[in-house]
Amino acid sequence: MTPDPASAAAHRPLAGRHAVVTGGGKGIGAAIAQALARAGADVTVMGRSAQPIADTAAGLRALQGVRAEAIPVDVSDEASIDAAFADAEARLGGTSILINNAGQSEGIASLDTTRETWDRLLAVNLTGAFLCAKRALPAMLAAGSGRIVNIASTAGLKGVPRIAAYCASKHWLIGLTRSLALEFARAGVTVNAVCPGYTDTDMAQRAVQRIVTTTGKPADEARRLIERSNAFGRLLRPQDDALADGEHLVPELHRPLQLLLRPGRRGGRLSSLRESAARRYQNSESKQRCQPPPLQSIRWFPHGSNSSPAS
């Protein structure tokens, strides 16, 4: 029986898109990369450690049959970001989807937080996300469409003791998300944030160990304390934060894109944005590969106790 092309497209709605996932070697980032690949996207997995990102990319190629590349990056270093994105674009074309997942946390009392710790967490969690978005946006604007998703945290929605730098960085990341969303919506680029609670990753395990060290509580009791801070009463799984599939993470593609444009203003600002981006991108070696079909719709993320759209 001949496969139905429409049915195949429905099962792989992100086919032809290039997704970049930072911090993609393990945990939430790896789960997101898998979700995007299942939806048909080609994926660049970025991260500091070469082996985990290589393993993730190899798994995507083997299990999902998509193109997948592993490219090391230090998101606290602008030169490293520029080099990584240039390499990714040369291999897979312009970025259609950016997942800013790279992040660090330190559990330490505010009066013991050094300037080095403060600067490092902001550099990774906030400035890195901004610089990656800045690097991905020209191709998105030239194509007239794009999706940016920042992985924030419930710590970006409330105060949490003993993680002041992390908490501040995630609050500011949500503010950045809202600002970028308003700035680029008319150009067909949506920017959102996902705010997970404690997730069963290395970061959560370090949080358990910090509680053990600072309070003397047994590890199982420390873990229960963290679990109770989540609405579900348990640690989330990385695949929960990936929202199960790529269409949820970067909204579905079967409906027309709805943009809030005032009557009589459709041409000016949107056209100038696209033309400006196209001029900036004109000298790129991958310019011919940076025009994927426009993403065709936007949809809010599913509402849940531990995820929140921020736009």
Predicted confidence (pLDDT) at residue 290 exceeds the cutoff of 70: no
Predicted confidence (pLDDT) at residue 211 exceeds the cutoff of 70: no
- CATH class for domain 15-197+236-289? alpha beta
Q: What is the mean pLDDT of residues 38-48?
A: 96
What's the pTM value of the predicted model, to 2 decimals? Answer: 0.73
**Euclidean distance between CA atoms 98 and 114, whole angstroms:** 31
Read off the pLDDT band of 89 (50, 70, 90): very high
Domain ranges of the chain: 15-197+236-289, 198-235
Residue given tokens 């593609």 in the structure block? 253
Question: DSSP secondary structure string, the chain?
Answer: ----HHHHHHH-TTTT-EEEEET-SSHHHHHHHHHHHHTT-EEEEEES-HHHHHHHHHHHHHHH-S-EEEEE--TT-HHHHHHHHHHHHHHH-S-SEEEE-------B-GGG--HHHHHHHHIIIIIHHHHHHHHHHHHHHHHT-EEEEEE--GGGTS--TTBHHHHHHHHHHHHHHHHHHHHHGGGTEEEEEE---SBSSHHHHHHHHHHHHHH---HHHHHHHHHHHSTTSSPBPHHHHTTSSHHHHS--SSS-------TT-SSHHHHHHHHHHHHHHTT-TTGGG--PPPP----PPPPBTTB----
Active site residues: 166
Q: Give the lowest-confidence range in 113-117, 120-124, 152-156.
A: 152-156
Q: Regarding predicted confidence, which is higher, 306 or 161?
A: 161
Instruction: Check residue 65 and give left, alpha or beta (phi > 0: left; psi -120 to 50: alpha).
Output: left
Predicted confidence (pLDDT) at residue 308 exceeds the cutoff of 50: no
Residues 220-276 pLDDT 10s: 766 676 666 666 676 666 555 444 444 455 554 333 333 222 222 333 333 344 444
Sign of CA dihedral 139, 145, 134, 152: negative
Read off the pLDDT band of 283 (50, 70, 90): very low
Residues 191-200 pLDDT 10s: 999 888 666 6
Mean of the per-residue pLDDT values of the chain: 77
Phi, psi of 300, deg, nearest 5: -65, 150
